Structure 1
């Protein structure tokens, strides 16, 4: 009953619609609610586009960066149910300042920890230049469940970035730990032990001279640490199963992996072995990708022996399946095909990547959908990385014996 009352309140009476989506898709109540909210949000965007002729007026209401993310930024306004919140209230009090930062170079990390107030609306971490320009403005907004990234030059804000593959994981009354790593091309950000996103440099990072923390947080501490690898995470050990003793029906749809997913292979992924992924496509999918790569780091960039990237934007049930590899700091030649597949919004799937003596063969629900011939020795693969608009229940390594 509590769930029904919550849904009636949060969806605004659309219980029959959410029930229909729930029954037809098999998704959770929370995902069905997000699906309907996203539909309403798209309607609001179209409304504002019709009302405002200038793009600048639209971007004052919301950032278009978030449109591409299923983890969207949306909040009902008490004065106008179903509208986008335009609340500008936030604490601007400086709670911590680190000055006289010297020798900012690739590999330098700022590790910021503290506690989030029970009344927190938002807080910010700013990497500052001498003229008060901001090379990075990192701004979590808790009511909306998203994090704004931006820069400021001569008092003028740049274009916001808010989309992210990582679910929002900052909560009132809890501690937080944020790592910001400087690389030669961008900032990399890790939130509570998980890589969150990147922000390309718009100002010279070598001119950063101070760091300040503002807003509704307390007990803030900042460390400066040089590191050779990023991030430092705990990997999921991929379970090994025998083809003779394993059946796909044994897999569960109740427990799911944290996304993005990073798993460690316990042995070489070579001829005769298969990687099994059991998952479900989100209700509003754009794409996802799976990498077979040399290590689990984001920086330095790992070599990727096989990059599989299904994209769901095609019309008529066809999906673009892209394949590629990454070596020596760049992508190689892309291979792509457009096929009718069993990838459907809200539906479960079984993906199998079989390693042969010459290639990776990709099967979706036991149907061959793609093949990728080796460009490097498959024995170099150590890690499986998955990111995008799917929920992953199981990742297993299957062998012949």
Structure 2
């Protein structure tokens, strides 16, 4: 799309000095109909640029698809499709449609059966990772109940199997990328090109300053706790909350990896989007030991978007205690031996700046 069409209202006001309720002459004379026609032409061109690989054997659990390519300025979107039937037909069934829309900066996932699309999914664990003229690597991992999608080595989203399932697919197709390359194989690990996994450092107290050799933490991080969390100790996470706070999750796991799936001995999920008009945010506590157990739900958190916060997970005598800015927001009884904790994972709208272990004896505590 031409740049003018995609400018936000604030940008238009700054560039043209627009008063509220008025538009500049240049903007009034802009031919939106012609622009929309250009966009439809680009979409048609993108559909005509396809690379299809026929599957010689069905996809199965552990099937690993790697797609590389470079988005270009004259093609506003591209898609990776896993489907069945006649791949040259516009009515072929598509089990998974991964549609990257660069002008809008989001990715749509969907399924098409009998020429009808289902409901779209757009939420993701990361900010939009694609850029024009920059090569990408997308990894797709087929699991029992869903596909997992990683971009440039970092997990981006998951998509639950619908009807048809990708396990019945006969082809994989990339549209809108001129230099697309596909590789299909089996894997024992996902993602295969991820960043290094760091050990969480130990500090003598919560007030001790950061050591110079501590890692620089990334969003959606997985980190090691090789020696676990001993009783009377805690994991401290200091980080920034996203301005449009939606949700985030913190997991204590038995192994530091995304897939094959680790057991989650303690899971804390803050859902700021659920009844967001209420004064307290929803906290969901659980554990996944092969399957999810019963949830504990409580509206106990008062986190402020676009600010820094300190989360603490304390190992007690028989439970995990979760604190946000020194306020207790939940307790979860041990559902497996706490000695099994060997890793920490953070997902979503909490961007960590410091993560460390320390004794919990000197940390302040407030009432709910």
Give the structure-1-normalised TM-score: 0.72
Matched, 1:110 2:65: yes
Q: 1:237 aligns with which of 184, 192, 198?
A: 198
CA distance in 1: counterparts of 2:8 and 2:85, whole angstroms = 51
Cα distance between partner residues in 1 of 2:55 and 2:302:
57
Partner of 1:372: 332
Inter-CA distance 216–396: structure 2 relative to 1 (3 Å threshold): same
Corresponding residue number in structure 2 for 1:338: 299
CA distance in 2, matches of 1:263, 1:119: 40
Q: Against the structure 1 CA distance between its residues 273 and 181, is the aligned structure 2 distance closer, same or farther, given a 3 Å change threshold?
A: same
> For 1:126-165, what aligned pairs fall within 5 Å after superposition?
126-131=81-86, 132-165=92-125
Unpaired runs of 5+ in structure 2?
1-6, 16-29, 87-91, 362-368
- Could you tell me how far 1:290 is from its partner in structure 2? 0.6
Q: 1:251 to 1:345 in 2, by over 3 A?
A: farther
Q: Tell me the SS of whatever aligns to 2:195.
A: coil
Flag the structure with higher helix content.
1
Residue 222 (structure 1) aligned to one of 182, 185, 198:
182
How far the C-alpha of 1:257 sits from its partner, in A, is 3.9
Q: Give the direction of change, closer, same or farther, for the CA distance of 1:152–1:240 in structure 2 (3 Å limit).
A: same
Residue 96, structure 1, aligned to residue 57, structure 2 = no
CA gap of 1:216–1:230, structure 2 versus 1, over 3 A, is: closer
Give me the CA root mean square deviation: 3.1
> Does residue 165 of structure 2 align to residue 204 of structure 1?
yes
Map 1:214-363 onto structure 2 (within 5 A). Answer: 214-218=175-179, 220-232=180-192, 233-244=194-205, 247=207, 257-312=217-272, 313=275, 315-328=277-290, 330-339=291-300, 341-363=301-323
Deviations 1:188-245 (A, max 9, x none): 1111111111222220333311122111431x2211111233223334414423325x
Would the aligned equivalents of 1:241 and 1:399 in 2 still touch at CA under 8 Å?
no
- State the 1:307 CA deviation: 0.6
Quote the Cα distance in structure 2 between the aligned partners of 1:154 and 1:322.
38
Q: Which residue of 352, 357, 361 corresponds with 1:397? A: 357
Change (3 A) 1:86 1:358: farther
Residue 22 of structure 1 is matched in structure 2 by none
Separation in structure 2 between the aligned mates of residue 277 and residue 356 of structure 1, nearest angstrom: 18
Q: The residue matched to 1:331 in structure 2 has which SS?
A: coil
> Which of the residues 119, 129, 154 maps onto 2:74?
119
In the alignment, the residues of structure 2 paired with residue 256 and residue 311 of structure 1 have an alpha-carbon distance, to the nearest angstrom, of 26
Q: How much does 1:118 deviate?
A: 4.3
- Per mean C-alpha deviation after superposition, the further-off stretch among 200-209 and 169-178 is 200-209
Q: Is the 8 A contact 2:240 2:309 kept in 1?
A: yes
Shift of 1:291: 0.5
- Alignment partners' CA distance in 2, 1:343 and 1:248: 24
Decide whether aligned partners of structure 1 residues 370 and 85 sit closer, same or farther in structure 2, where only a CA change above 3 A counts.
farther
**Please, what TM-score do these two structures have when normalized by structure 2?**
0.78
- 1:177 positional shift: 0.9
Q: Deviations over 1:35-66 (max 9, x none)?
A: xxxxxxxxxxxxxxxxxxxxxxxxxxxxxxxx
* Deviation of the 1:277 alpha carbon: 0.7
- Kept in 2: contact 1:235–1:263 (CA 8 A): no
User: Relative to 1, partners in 2 of residues 1:128 and 1:250: Cα closer, same or farther, differing over 3 Å?
Assistant: closer
Taking the aligned partners of 1:11 and 1:393, their CA distance within structure 2 comes to: 31
Change (3 A) 1:345 1:160: same
208-217 vs 365-374, which moves further: 365-374
Which residue number corresponds to residue 194 of structure 1?
154
Q: For the Cα contact (< 8 Å) 1:180–1:188, is it kept in 2?
A: yes
Q: Tell me, what secondary structure is at the counterpart of 2:339?
A: helix
